[in-house]
Amino acid sequence: MVVTLEYRVIPASSLNHPVQRLGVSAGCGGRLTAPYGALHSRNYPQNYGPEDDCVWSIEVAEGHAVELELQDLDIYASLAERRSGNCSGSFLQVIDGADLEGRELLRTCGGGLPDNRTLTSTANKMTVRMKSDGARSSKGFRATYATVCGSTIVTASSGVITSHDAINVQGKNANCSWTVIAEDPADHVTLTIGTLTVSHLDFSEGEEDCSSNNNVEVWEGVDSTGVLLGRYCTGRVPPALTSRGSALHIVMVSPFNSFHGWFSASYSVLSSACGGTFSAERGSFASPGYPASYPPGSDCVWTVTSAPGNLVQMSFSLFNLESSWGCFDDFVEVRKESAMGPLVGVYCGDERPSNLTAAHTLWVKFRSNAQGTAPGFLADFALVHGNLDITGRSGEIASPLYPSLYAQSGDFEWRVTVDTKKAVILDVKSLSTDRFGVDDCDDVYLAIHDGFDATTPQLYKDCGAALPRAVTTTSNVAFVRLHNYPIRRATTFLLAWREVDRPDGSATTVEAGANNCSSTIHLPAGGSVNVSSPGYPGGYGSNENCTWVLDTDPGWHLAVLFRDMDLEDTAECYSDRVEVASGERGGLEWKTRFKLCQPSAMFNDSFFTTNFMRLNFVSDWGTNGTGFAGTVYSGKQSFSPNK
């Protein structure tokens, strides 16, 4: 009997990790397919049956290996068998492969564990047999197994190898390897690295050869004694690598005994292998045969994918295909999302396409007809993480390279804008960091703000110490920031957003003369709104810090005209002041244009910005005035950065 249990591991840093399966065999043989498990002889720790002949088949994910560790062993053996070590009657046998015809790794009997108590398969399958000759019985055996990275793959087709944090890639597993061998010695192996996320743990600089960092090596041949084809650690993946012989050897190397990251690659022994799926941060792909000319009759598809809420950029450093009317013969076709997605363009000849950008996914197809050839193309791609304006009715935002863990440091920001009469609800589906408590969120956190940027009220901030939750904005804009400076472990998050009705169904406005301190305001084209300091005209308080973020329709600009300005007057407006900032790049960046505190501000026709404006009012603890009052207009005036 085989029992499969599901268990959930909940570390302090996250309550949102996936369920893992544990395989347990409690009968006479069985099939075990969970990534981890245990098996033992029937009736263990009582004696097994005198005529038992039990076979267990263990199979883990393709591209990995099985590691079996014997925990207990007591199988009856005659005195002659003990002396000779020839266990022909009752025995435990471990075989490398899917059946009893494979290579024998161990045959043992008697009491006590053998010296080689830990055994590893070359591929993803292992067979265990325990046989009793009917004479006598003993307690039997108990063993555990686990999935370990790396394997030997002998194939005539194609497949995928991958290693990520779901496998225990540390200690003795930190330096693991795959060997891909073509069944026909005359064939060649092509390897396309699709994903490479490597944490740099030595904090050194200038190591372009990656030798002192976690890295992935690709060698010609069946081991690391051949020619080194490349060593990669920076997140940029190379064009497809093809062996000169019939094998490639891939090694994950860690000088630190701990490899944190995500690596995946596709392999093929087809004579004209091309195409692939990429999710690495940077990389290249080329027409088949590159740098030689491509062969006739090629048909290849590449897909470059970023995490939800992020972008893909692609350019061609070389482009030279056969020309044809309408590009009906040899061509490169580019679409967004998939083969059925919006067409970006169809290209041929020797004129390089301009830089291409798409949200989430670019789909690229290359086809050549049966006649003629040309040098081909070399395409470079890069993923753009965050710093994006997102519009629509619903969608998702994820950490860079999601679902891979992201170990690189930086701030990544997204702004979600929906209809002006709607609000945004954001539901954090998962969040995992290397933090361990709510008071440990300074270096790594996910924050959601109710408005255009991080100066607006904060609705959510966490680093994985608590269950994720949903929040709703009061305006039609939400601002999301991932502050990512991990030390021990990389970061991942996923949130879903959608527009919802507001209770009153109205757009955000500020009434004339209102004393609102901090608001998010959308002005329709040609509209206007009054703003004033808190308490105006009765006077503002000490240590005020108020922000109004305004926007209007694209193609329009904003201007503020002050009717009153009575603030503490200091040199360069150091104490109390109104700052007018203009939004750049769709409001993702802000540049302060004016600092105002003197009555002369009332005599300026108006202060212009782009279609994004931020007003910030600050007061100190000293002298206070009655405050300020003004009107913000949406108009067609040209924006002048010097005004």
pLDDT in tens, 276-325: 888 888 888 889 888 889 999 889 999 999 999 998 999 999 999 999 88
The domain ranges of the chain are 2-149, 151-383, 388-501, 519-635
**233-247, 339-353, 376-390 — which is least confidently predicted?**
233-247
With a cut of 50, say whether residue 146 has pLDDT above it: yes
Distance CA 301, CA 257 (A): 37
In this chain, the answer to whether the domains covering 388-501 and 519-635 adopt an identical fold is yes
Residue range 619-625: mean pLDDT, rounded: 82
Burial (Cβ within 10 Å: 0-12, 13-18, ≥19) of residue 399: buried
CATH number among 2.60.120.290, 3.40.50.261, 1.10.3720.10, 3.40.50.1370, domain 2-149: 2.60.120.290
Mean pLDDT across 74-82: 81
Q: Which CATH superfamily is domain 151-383 in?
A: Spermadhesin, CUB domain (2.60.120.290)
Output the pLDDT for position 200.
52
Binning pLDDT at 50, 70 and 90, where does residue 167 land?
very low
Kindly indicate the confidence band of residue 569, based on its pLDDT and cuts at 50, 70 and 90: confident
The C-alpha torsion from 375 through 376 and 382 to 388, rounded to 10°, is 130
> Which residues lie across from 21 on neighbouring strands?
6
Split at pLDDT 50, 70, 90, the class of 424 is very high
Superfamily of domain 519-635: Spermadhesin, CUB domain (2.60.120.290)
- What was the pLDDT predicted at 285? 87
Residue 19 is given by DSSP the state P
Question: What CA–CA distance (Å, rounded) separates 137 from 115?
Answer: 23
pLDDT single digits (tens) 147-166: 888 888 888 887 888 875 44
Could you tell me if 305 and 319 are in contact, meaning their C-beta atoms sit under 8 angstroms apart?
no
Q: What is the pLDDT of residue 508?
A: 47
355: pLDDT confidence band, cut at 50, 70 and 90?
confident
84-131 per-position pLDDT tens digit? 778 888 898 999 998 898 999 998 888 888 888 899 998 889 999 998
Cα dihedral value 42, 46, 49, 50, nearest 10:
140
84 φ/ψ angles, rounded to the nearest 5 degrees: -90, -25
- Residue 372 Rama label (left phi>0; alpha psi -120 to 50; beta): left
* Cα(437)–Cα(185) distance, integer angstroms: 56
What are phi and psi for residue 588, nearest 5 degrees? -75, -30
The CATH classification number of 388-501 equals 2.60.120.290
Across the chain, mean pLDDT equals 81
What pLDDT, in 10s, does the model give residues 200-220? Answer: 544 344 445 676 667 888 999
Q: Are strands 20-25 and 36-40 parallel, antiparallel or unpaired?
A: parallel
What pLDDT does 405 receive?
Answer: 75
Contact between 165 and 262 (Cβ < 8 Å)? yes
Which amino acid makes up residue 339? A
Cα 238 to Cα 361: distance, rounded to the nearest angstrom: 19
What per-residue confidence (pLDDT) applies to 203?
39
Q: What integer pLDDT is reported at residue 199 of this predicted model?
A: 58
Distance between CA atoms of residues 610 and 98, nearest Å: 67
